[in-house]
Structure 1
C-alpha cells in the first residue's frame, strides 16, 4: 500500500447528531403494545440546538413531544424522549430546534428541509430473527458444483436423466445459451458432508443450500416434487446424514424453497393439466394465451402458484403437514428457509398476498422450531415487505451488494450489473454510503442488523471478477465482516474464484488445488483474509451487534464506528490512496491505546486527534477503549 501525499485531510462526520436502533440508543429487547420506550439522541457539544423534540406518528397522525437533556460533557449532550408504542410499527424522528430554523434527524441523517416518513426510525413489536443470527456467518453452497464424494473428477457416473449434459469437474460452466441449466457436474450431498472441515476451518457456522428437490435443471428451482430429495444428490437418506453431521459440529443448516412457482413437471401441475376440475388446478393461474397458464417472468417451465387457493396454503406453507414444516422436523431438522423470489410470491395483477404468505410461513415455522430463521430473496427495494412480522431478513442486494460493487468495481470491466441492461458503474464513496443509508433507513433496525449482506451469490458474477484484484477483494471482505447485518458468502469467493455472470460463476470448487496449493486456481492468501476477518468479527460484540456511525465518507475511503455499551470499534476501508482524516481524540479513552484487530497498522494517536492513515487499497480495524 502506498500513502498519498496531501495537505487537505477529509473532514469527519462525527460533529453531526446521531441515533440508531442499537442498544446505545434504544433499550435492548422487543417492546409490546402499550410500552413506553426511552430513546436517546447524541448531539455533539458543538451543536447549536435550543431543544430537541421527538416526532412520532400515532394512528396516522404526527405528534411532537419534548426530549429531556439527560447528561452532557465537554464532548456531547444526550437527550432522552419517551416513545409510546401505540402501533405495531411506531415511526419516530428527532426535531432539532436551532437558531434560524430546525433540522430533522432520521435514518438517512440530518436534513434542513422537510422529509417523508419512509426513513423514520422504527420501533416494532414483532420479534426479531433468532438470536443466533446475530453471530452467524452464512456459507452458500450450490450442490451440483460444491463437491463429489471421493476423488473422481471425470464425467459424473451412474444413470443420468435425459435432460442432463454431463461435465467433468474441471470443465468451465456454460455462461449463457443452450445447455446452461442442463450442464451437470455431479456434486451431491455426500460431497458436502465430506468437506465440512473446510467450513469449520474458514470459521463459518451456517450452511445454506440452494434447492435439493428433484427437477429438470442443475439449479433445481423448477421442482418436480417437494416430498423428496433429488436422487442425483443422494436422496432423503443423504440429506438426513448431512443434517446430522452439520448439527453434530454445532453448525446450522438453511434450505431454499420456491413458494412462488413449481416446475412444469411438478406432480401438482401435471394433475392440474390433466384435470382442470382437480384441487391442484386451483393452485395455478390459467390464461387463454399460450401456454395457457402464467409462468414466472413468462417462463413456461415455471408455472406460478395462486395463493387464493386455501388448499395450496395448507399443502405448501400452513400447518404441521405443509412443505415448510416437514423439512424443519427430524431427521432433516432445517434451521430455517431462504424463500426464492419472495418479492413475487403471492403477487399477480390485482392480487397481493405476499405479506399474508410471509406471516403464514413464519407462524408455521415458529410452531415447529421457534429458533428457525426466515429469509427472503428480493433484489431491489424490500422495505415495504420488511415490517418485521413476516420475513426476518432479506438477501441484501440493494443496501449492500449493489453499492459496494459500484465503489470497488474494476473500471471498464463491462460486466452486467445484476440484471440491468448496463455495465456495473464506477461510483465514489459518497454514492455508496448514500445508497446504504437510503435502503437501511427503510426498515426497522431489528431487520437491518440481521440482513444477509453479500458480495455475490449464485445469481451474480464472482467478486474477484467484479473488482479485479486481490487487494480490492480484501477491502470488500472487510466491509462484509464489519458492517451491520449477517455476512453471507458464496462458496469459493474465499479462494478468489472467478465468473462473469450468475451461471458462469457456478464454477466447481477446485478441491485438488485447495489441497495442493495450486495458486492459479485457488488463492490461499484470499482464504486467509476471509478466515482472519471472520475471526475478528467473532471476537467483537460491537461488530456483531453494535450500531453504526459514519465517521468519514470520501471518494476513495470510508470509515465508521460500531458501538455497543461496552465496546467501540473503528473500521477504515480505502479503495486507493487518499488524503487521510482526523477523528476526535475523545473517541479513545485517556491512557489507552487503540488495539489493532486487522490490517497491521497502529492507529496514530496524537494529543489532539486520531489520525487515519491515507494508505490504500486496504482495510483497517481498531478497537478503541
Structure 2
C-alpha cells in the first residue's frame, strides 16, 4: 500500500518493529469528550474539550507527537505530552477545543532522527495522508448503544416454527397468475419458483416464534430480526398488500403484540423488516391513494415502474406528499405505528433501501431517509435503523440516515469469498476472468479496512454484520463445505466491529440447496438428532464471547499480520485482547505473530486452552490445515 510505513526503515535496535505498536482509536480511553454539566444538547459543542491519546512502545524512538485537527477550516498541530503508564507503553495526550459539533484528526510522529511519520485509522505512513481515514468526532451522531452487545437471529417466519394450526394458508386459498397456494408438510422441501410461485407455505407463525424463545436464549442470542410479516400474498411477504395489518395467517396484530411483549420481558430486542420501496399490484394504493393521488412511479410512457422487472411489484413515488405522510410522517404512519405500543419494536430493517425514492429524474432517497431517521428518533431515540445495501454504503452512514447497512460489503462478501465462493457482484467481464479465486489475507484485510476504517467512528460499532441471509445461499450448503474453514469465518464474523446476525438454522447446519431462493429457505430442523452439534458449539461459544467481552463490543480492531493464506485480526482493550489467526492453508504450518501491539503477559487458545510463551513479543502458533485459532491475551496491568 503506497505510503504505508516501510519496516525496513524501522529502528532495528529495538526488540520489535516499534511502528507496529503505534495505536489510537476514537473510543475511550483514547478519546474522551470532557463532560460539561452546563450543556444539555450534545450538538452544542463550542468550547468542549477532546482529550486525545496515542500509545506506542515505551522503547520507540519517538521524540514528539502532534494531533493534526481541523478547527474552523484550518489545520492545527496540537503538541501531545508524553505520559508513561506501565513499562510496556508510553502514552501521548493532547487536548483539542471544539468550535463545532464535528471534527476529524490524525497524528504526526517525529522520530529521534527527525523523520516525520503519519498515523491514521489505516496505520503508519511515510507520506502525509488524505483525510478519508482520519479519526472522526461528531457529537450529533448517535447510534443505539445496545447494538454492539447484541447478537441478532434472523427468522423467515413461514419456515421457523408452527404453533397454531388454526392459522396458515390453505391449499388453493391464494392465487396469483398460474400459481395457487399449497400447504406443505414440515418435512417437505420448498418448491422452486417455476413450480410454486412463492406460494408454497409451511405456515410457521408468530406464536411459533414465541414458543422457541427459550431455545434462542439458550443459544445466547438477544435480538430477533423478522423478515416481513405484513399482509401479503407470497411466503416471503415482500409483496405487501397492507402495511397496517400483520398477516392474519401469521397470527395478526395480536400475535405480534404478544411476541413483542414476551421478547421485551426477557430483556431481548426485536427488529422488523419492511419494503417501503414497492407494493404488490393488489395493494389498494396501486389504484390510487385515499386522496386520489397516483403514488406509483411511472416510466416516460406512463407505464408503472416494476421493481426488478417483476410485474407484481410496483415502485412507489415519493414525490407525492401524501405517500410520505402515510409511510412515515403521520403519527399513525407505517414507520411510526410499530415503534409505539402495543408493539414498541426496537428497530427497522428496510428492504432495498438504497433504491427508495430514486428513479430516473426523481432522486429523493437521501431526503426521504433523513426524514425517516428524524421520525424514528423522535419516537424512540434507541431504535436501530438498518438499510439493505450490497455495496459501499458510506453515503448513508454519516449520522443523518441509517445506523448501518446490511453489511454485505464488508462482511458477507469478503467472508464468503474467503471460503471460495465467487463474488455475486463482480462485473461480468471480470467474473469470467477471475472465477472463484479466493482473496489473499492481504486482500481480505483491505476488504475489511476499506469499510471499517473509513466510515465515521460513531457508526463503526453499529454495523450489522452477516454472511448468510434469506437472499444468499447458505455457506454450508456448498459441496465444498469444510467445517474447519467455516469455523474460522464464524469466528471472524463475531470479531468484526458492530453486531452480527445469524440466519435461522445456520447454528445447526440446516439443510439447503444452491439452486435458487427456495434452497435458502428450508423449514427449521427441530429434531436434535438431525442437528450438527459441532456447529452449535462454535456458535454458542462465539455468541457468549460477543455478549460477554468488552473487547468484542467496543475494543479497537486491527489487522496484525496477513499472508497469502492467513490473516491475523485482533480486537482489544487495555484489559483484554482477542487475536484470531484465520487460516486457509492446505497444509499444517506455524505462523509467527507479533503481539507487541497488545503486550500480553498471558496468551491461551480460547477453545482448547493451549498456553503460549509471551516472554518474547513474537509467538509461534501451530495451525493444522485449514484450521483457525482464537487466542485470548491478557495485557500487563497498567
TM-score w.r.t. length of structure 1 = 0.87
What per-residue deviation string (whole Å, max 9, x for no partner) do you get for residues 528-584 of structure 1?
Answer: 111121112222111122111322222333233322344333333333444311434
| Residue in structure 1 matched with residue 525 of structure 2 by the alignment | 511
| Residue in structure 1 matched with residue 353 of structure 2 by the alignment | 342
| Residue in structure 2 matched with residue 160 of structure 1 by the alignment | 173
In structure 2, the CA distance between the partners of 1:197 and 1:12, relative to structure 1 (3 Å rule), is farther
| Residue in structure 1 matched with residue 318 of structure 2 by the alignment | 307
| Residue in structure 1 matched with residue 453 of structure 2 by the alignment | 441
In structure 2, the CA distance between the partners of 1:607 and 1:106, relative to structure 1 (3 Å rule), is closer
> For the Cα contact (< 8 Å) 2:24–2:55, is it kept in 1?
yes
The structure 1 residue matched to 2:275, chosen from 250, 255, 258, is: 258
Moved more, 47-56 or 333-342: 47-56
Distance 1:156 1:345 in 2: 30
Matches within 5 A, 1:6-45: 15=20, 17-27=22-32, 32-34=44-46, 35-45=48-58
> For the Cα contact (< 8 Å) 1:556–1:578, is it kept in 2?
no
Secondary structure, in 3 states, of the residue corresponding to 2:630? strand
CA deviation after TM superposition for structure 1 residue 460, in Å = 0.9
| Residue in structure 2 matched with residue 564 of structure 1 by the alignment | 573
CA deviation after TM superposition for structure 1 residue 14, in Å = 6.7
The structure 2 residue matched to 1:453, chosen from 441, 465, 476, is: 465
Distance 2:124 2:293 in 1: 54
Q: Does 1:246 align with 2:263?
A: yes
Distance 2:26 2:513 in 1: 38
Secondary structure, in 3 states, of the residue corresponding to 1:611? strand
Secondary structure, in 3 states, of the residue corresponding to 1:187? coil
The structure 2 residue matched to 1:544, chosen from 539, 550, 553, is: 553
Moved more, 155-164 or 366-375: 155-164
Secondary structure, in 3 states, of the residue corresponding to 2:190? coil
> For the Cα contact (< 8 Å) 1:472–1:618, is it kept in 2?
yes
Aligned CA-pair RMSD: 2.9
In structure 2, the CA distance between the partners of 1:76 and 1:512, relative to structure 1 (3 Å rule), is closer
Distance 1:316 1:52 in 2: 52
| Residue in structure 1 matched with residue 151 of structure 2 by the alignment | 137
| Residue in structure 2 matched with residue 470 of structure 1 by the alignment | 483
> For the Cα contact (< 8 Å) 1:122–1:445, is it kept in 2?
yes
The unaligned stretches of length 5 or more in structure 2 are 1-15, 36-41
Matches within 5 A, 1:91-106: 91-97=104-110, 102-106=116-120
Distance 1:619 1:294 in 2: 50
Q: Does 1:146 align with 2:160?
A: yes
Distance 1:336 1:375 in 2: 8
In structure 2, the CA distance between the partners of 1:566 and 1:585, relative to structure 1 (3 Å rule), is closer
Distance 2:115 2:550 in 1: 39
| Residue in structure 2 matched with residue 90 of structure 1 by the alignment | 103
Distance 1:372 1:265 in 2: 31
In structure 2, the CA distance between the partners of 1:65 and 1:13, relative to structure 1 (3 Å rule), is closer
CA deviation after TM superposition for structure 1 residue 137, in Å = 0.5
| Residue in structure 1 matched with residue 126 of structure 2 by the alignment | 112
CA deviation after TM superposition for structure 1 residue 177, in Å = 4.6
> For the Cα contact (< 8 Å) 1:90–1:123, is it kept in 2?
yes
Distance 1:502 1:624 in 2: 46
Q: Does 1:316 align with 2:327?
A: yes
Distance 2:318 2:18 in 1: 48
Moved more, 41-50 or 192-201: 41-50
| Residue in structure 1 matched with residue 7 of structure 2 by the alignment | none
CA deviation after TM superposition for structure 1 residue 174, in Å = 4.2
Distance 2:463 2:475 in 1: 19
> For the Cα contact (< 8 Å) 2:288–2:294, is it kept in 1?
no
> For the Cα contact (< 8 Å) 1:481–1:534, is it kept in 2?
yes
CA deviation after TM superposition for structure 1 residue 452, in Å = 0.8
Secondary structure, in 3 states, of the residue corresponding to 1:66? strand
| Residue in structure 1 matched with residue 608 of structure 2 by the alignment | 600
> For the Cα contact (< 8 Å) 2:151–2:547, is it kept in 1?
no
In structure 2, the CA distance between the partners of 1:588 and 1:17, relative to structure 1 (3 Å rule), is closer
Higher relative contact order (CA 8 A, sep 6+): 1
What per-residue deviation string (whole Å, max 9, x for no partner) do you get for residues 334-362 of structure 1?
Answer: 11111112212222334433333223222
In structure 2, the CA distance between the partners of 1:536 and 1:183, relative to structure 1 (3 Å rule), is same
Distance 1:177 1:89 in 2: 53
Secondary structure, in 3 states, of the residue corresponding to 2:553? helix
CA deviation after TM superposition for structure 1 residue 308, in Å = 2.4
Distance 2:100 2:281 in 1: 43
Distance 1:313 1:321 in 2: 12
CA deviation after TM superposition for structure 1 residue 97, in Å = 4.0
Distance 2:594 2:188 in 1: 51
> For the Cα contact (< 8 Å) 1:337–1:375, is it kept in 2?
yes
Q: Does 1:405 align with 2:410?
A: no
Distance 1:139 1:542 in 2: 22
| Residue in structure 2 matched with residue 622 of structure 1 by the alignment | 632
In structure 2, the CA distance between the partners of 1:113 and 1:347, relative to structure 1 (3 Å rule), is farther
The structure 2 residue matched to 1:53, chosen from 66, 77, 85, is: 66
> For the Cα contact (< 8 Å) 2:576–2:632, is it kept in 1?
no
| Residue in structure 1 matched with residue 82 of structure 2 by the alignment | 70
What per-residue deviation string (whole Å, max 9, x for no partner) do you get for residues 81-118 of structure 1?
Answer: 33444444422222334568644322222333454332
CA deviation after TM superposition for structure 1 residue 298, in Å = 3.9
> For the Cα contact (< 8 Å) 1:416–1:501, is it kept in 2?
no
